[in-house]
Amino acid sequence: MIRKLGIKLPGGIEPEEFDFFHSMIFSEEFRATGCYGYGDGLFGGQSIGFPPLLKFGSDELIQRIAPDILLGKKRICLAVSEPYAGSDVAQIKARARMDENGDFIVSGVKKWITGGMFSDYFTTLVATDQGHSMMLVERDDESLSTRALKTSYSMAAGTAYVEYDDCKVPKTNVIGKVGNGFMYAMSNFNVERWGMVCSGNRLSRLMVEACFKWAMQRKIFGKRLIDQPVIRFKLAQMAAEVEAVHSLLEDVTFQMNNSTEKEINKLLAGPIALMKYKQTRVAQLCSDNACQILGGRGLTRSGMGVMVEKFQRSQKMQAILGGSEEILADFAMRQAVKAYPKEAKL
């Protein structure tokens, strides 16, 4: 599709060659700055709001919208969560009613929408008489408004509360088929969660790096921190867990590269959910250990511990976005039960 649109990728990579490993490297390197919200503001909303359009949108819709998004002239985000529905996506209340021309009128609200403050297009999940549907709602200052939400991790992410006040949506802006929106949202979650693991574990690795550097130079009671057994143990905990998550990530990424989308949704949804659960638990450990190692510097928004302090505020949101830890752990086990052979016994 990208080739048809006449868009060239950076680095001379052919569109057909760009795979999940390329995406993983891009995501990891972008997080090396230690600023989670900065990366989310630049491409977080794009990375989850754009795929449903490319995968399920009509050729006309893609040709009209995609080039400007790919060239950075326009921005897009995903609008699913609401004050009434987070991980329980089926409970959304934003609604689209059909008018006499077959177009739709959208009313309702969305909350915690990453990149919403900067977006021109909102890939929106709504309820219709035919079931959940996905529509591309274009920003209109009169009928679609956004206001910033002050989250703990960063205003740079452009997290928004979005209000739809009888937004007119042409029938040509319906993504895929009316009534199939829930399926589109669920299929989008797998790659979204995988991407969150790429980003989140890179930030945990930064904590290991910062703590090791600090332990090598900081002296306490006449010794370097690194000479204290308890500090070496904390570093070993962090390093072992981060490397374990990265090994799992590379394994899952390889499988994604060698699977069809249908196979990913059927066979890898559970492992991806379990991987994200593991990664956010590791982030919690790294956050706690890093703060203990850096001490007061790990609580200060400037100086040598700035990344650790920033991680203290940002790591917890990883455990909520894309499905909370509890929901993902349960989902992974339900997927395992579904695939469990009935004849298997101890």
Summarised one tens digit per residue, pLDDT across range 100-113 is 999 999 999 999 99
Same domain, 125 and 212: no
Mean pLDDT of 320-345: 93
Residue 275's identity, in one-letter code, is: M
In a domain, residue 37? The reply is: no
Neighbours of 297 (CB within 10 A): 18
In a domain, residue 222? The reply is: yes
Same domain, 135 and 264: no
Q: What is the pLDDT of residues 244-259, one digit of tens each?
A: 999 999 999 999 999 9
Same domain, 331 and 193: yes
Q: Among 218, 230, 222, 219, which residue's Cα sits nearest to residue 305?
A: 218
Taking phi first (over 0 means left), then psi (-120 to 50 degrees means alpha), and beta for anything else, what does residue 222 get? left
In a domain, residue 119? The reply is: yes
Q: How many CA atoms lie within 13 A of 78 on its CB side?
A: 24
Same domain, 326 and 224: yes
Kind and range of the H or E element at 51? Answer: helix 51-56
Q: Which of 184-193, 211-220, 225-234 has the lowest mean pLDDT?
A: 184-193
Mean pLDDT, all residues of the chain: 93
Same domain, 164 and 193: no
Most confident of 40-44, 115-119, 184-188: 115-119
Pairwise CA distance, residues 246 & 106, whole Å: 42
pTM, entire model: 0.90
Strand partners, 162: 110, 146
Q: Which of 177, 207, 238 is the last residue of a domain?
A: 177
Domain extent at residue 108: 50-177
In a domain, residue 213? The reply is: yes
Neighbours of 136 (CB within 10 A): 22
What CATH number is attached to the domain comprising 115?
2.40.110.10
pLDDT of residue 4: 66
The residues near 26 (Cβ < 8 Å, ≥ 6 apart) are none
In a domain, residue 8? The reply is: no
Question: How many domains, the chain?
Answer: 2
Q: Which of 177, 194, 212 is the last residue of a domain?
A: 177
> Which CA distances in Å does 109 have to 63, 99, 144, 145, 149?
28, 20, 10, 10, 13
